[in-house]
Every structure is written in C-alpha cells, then in structure tokens.
C-alpha cells in the first residue's frame, strides 16, 4: 500500500532535516511513497529542506488560522492509500516506526492508528507526566476509548474521505475522527511501539492558548461534559499534587515546583476558558432560537 507522510510546518528548519532523514530511512518507506509538506509561510530554511528531500511542497499560509483545514487540504492532495500525519516536533524513535504504526491498518485490524510520544531532553516535568498518563507503554490494538492525537498517526485514505477532519474544531480533530469511526463500528488502535520523541517546548501563554482551544473543542465533541470553576480548582490541585509527589520521588522538586504549578494552571485554566467560550456560543444560539425578541440575522 502506498503511503503519504503529511507534515505541517512553520519555520521548523532546525528540526526538519533530522525529521525528514528519519522518515527516509524507515523500514518500508519506498520510492513510490511520498512526503507532503504543508507550509504556513516559513521564512527560514524550511522550504529549502523540503525541496532538498524531494518532498511535495504546498503553500497553505492562507489556512494558518485553521490548521485542521490544512490537514484536510494536504490529505486531498495525497496519492497514498495510507495517510501518516507527523508533527514537525515529533522525531521517529526507530527505523521501524512507520511499519509498526501502519501494521494494524495493513492487517485490517483498524482504520486509524496512533503512536506513542516519548519525552525528550526538552520535555518539562509536567509534560512528561502528561505524556506518560495519556500514552502508556502498553499498546491497545484495538483500543476501547476514543482518545487519539495527530502528532504521530496513520489512517486509511478511504476512511479519511468518508469522514474528513472537522474544520469547525480548533483542536482535538483526531478525537472527533476516532469517535466517528468507533460509532460507525470501525476500530482505532494505540501502537505504543511506534514511538516518536516529542521536542515540544511551550511557555505559559502558549500552553494556555492550546488548552483553551482544546476546551472549546472538548465541549463540541462531548457536549454532555461540563467544566466548572470548581472542576478547574479540583483538577489543578489533583494534577499539581500528583506531579509534586513524583518530583519528590525523583528528588527534583526544587527545580520543577514553579514549572509544575504554572503549567498545570495553564492547562486547566485554558480548558475552563475554552468551556466558557463554547458556553457563550451555545447560549447565543439558544437565545436566538428561543427568544421572543426579533432574532439577529447574520
């Protein structure tokens, strides 16, 4: 089966050479396979590297504010039977990463698979705990839940064509896809052995923005989930306490206490703010539909 690797980039020249070299050296990556770079307007050496490694390069800067739309656009341009989505900050951990990731799809066990994200030297303490909780060392093929991410993922193109990623979501489009597939009777697989090193580094405000977007998306995907101020306080305390206890075990609390408290604050405050954004939109729609006053036309 022909494979298409899709990578969305924006000024990722510092890591892109290592990433593309790792992809090219993969077991099972053949001359008939392709790499698509969907670029949001890079001004560093990203475009040069894409050409050097003979990637198909597409300028999608007009979609910078909607990266999910860019993912769909690149998928539509692909010629592979299996689409593989790889974040530019996710470096395959072995030469068998690609084969291991797509094997459950090739063997008709599932339609959508995702691999583990491994902590790197750049990974903060709290993010390390987050990765270990969400992406454990044990595979689940197929998995029972609907969690998924698009940083290290593969899907049948025919399945993508059937559902496509929801462009109304600012984040978590992979979870919506997994939910759609599961509800239709299909299967999703978590392949822990298909690992990629996570080079992500995020400051407080970047984390806050990311989790705010995830909060908005979460409420759209699971409207029965409500996240209140009390929930924020409870989960921030719970997660911070767990991280602190782990840091004590590893004798590194002194160097990580501020990072633990601030990153967990950004995480749950972001989700709370995202939930409030969705709540306001829902109230506006409800008021427009139910109010006895004349509705405002767009």
Q: What is the pLDDT of residue 282?
A: 55
C-beta separation of 34 from 113 below 8 A: no
Phi and psi of 110, rounded to 5°?
-155, 175
Looking at residue 277, what is its pLDDT?
81
Q: Per-residue pLDDT tens for 87-105? A: 999 999 999 999 999 999 9
Where are the chain's structural domains?
3-198, 204-290
- Is the per-residue pLDDT at 295 higher than 90? no
Q: How large is the average pLDDT for residues 64-89?
A: 96
pLDDT digits (tens, 9 = 90+) for 241-260: 999 999 999 999 999 999 99
Q: What is the mean pLDDT of residues 15-36?
A: 95
d(CA 4, CA 80): 5
Q: Report which of 151, 162, 148, 160 is spatially closest to residue 75, judged by C-alpha positions.
A: 160
**pLDDT tens, 136-185?**
999 999 998 888 999 999 999 999 999 999 999 999 999 999 999 999 99
pLDDT at residue 290 greater than cutoff 70: no
- Distance CA(143)–CA(181), nearest Å, equals 12
Q: Full-prediction pTM beyond 0.85?
A: yes
The CATH homologous superfamily for domain 3-198 is: Spore Coat Polysaccharide Biosynthesis Protein SpsA; Chain A (3.90.550.10)
Query: Which secondary-structure segment (H or E) carries 195?
Result: strand 188-198
């Amino acid at each position: 089966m022909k494979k298409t690797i899709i990578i969305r980039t924006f000024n990722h020249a510092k890591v892109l050479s290592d990433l593309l070299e790792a992809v090219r050296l993969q077991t099972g990556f053949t001359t008939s396979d392709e790499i698509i770079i969907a670029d949001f307007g890079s001004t560093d050496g990203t475009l040069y590297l894409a050409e050097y490694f003979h990637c198909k390069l597409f300028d999608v800067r007009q979609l910078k504010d909607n990266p999910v739309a860019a993912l769909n656009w690149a998928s539509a341009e692909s010629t592979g039977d299996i689409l593989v989505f790889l974040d530019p900050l996710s470096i395959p951990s072995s030469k068998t990463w690609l084969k291991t990731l797509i094997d459950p799809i090739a063997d008709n066990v599932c339609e959508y698979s995702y691999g583990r994200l491994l902590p790197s030297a750049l990974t903060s303490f709290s993010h390390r705990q987050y990765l270990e909780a969400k992406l454990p060392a044990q595979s689940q093929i197929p998995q029972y839940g609907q969690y998924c991410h698009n940083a290290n993922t593969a899907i049948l193109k025919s399945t993508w064509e059937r559902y496509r990623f929801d462009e109304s979501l600012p984040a978590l489009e992979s979870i919506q896809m997994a939910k759609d597939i599961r509800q239709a009777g299909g299967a999703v697989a978590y392949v822990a052995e298909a690992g990629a090193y996570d080079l992500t580094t995020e400051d407080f405000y970047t984390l806050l923005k990311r989790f705010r977007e995830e909060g908005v998306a979460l409420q759209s995907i699971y409207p029965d989930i409500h996240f209140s101020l009390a929930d924020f306080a409870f989960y921030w305390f719970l997660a911070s306490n767990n991280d602190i206890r782990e840091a004590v075990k590893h004798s590194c609390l002194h160097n990580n206490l501020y990072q633990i408290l601030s990153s967990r604050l950004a995480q749950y405050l972001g989700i709370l703010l995202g939930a409030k954004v969705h709540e306001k939109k829902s109230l506006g729609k409800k008021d427009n539909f139910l109010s006895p006053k004349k509705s405002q036309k767009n």
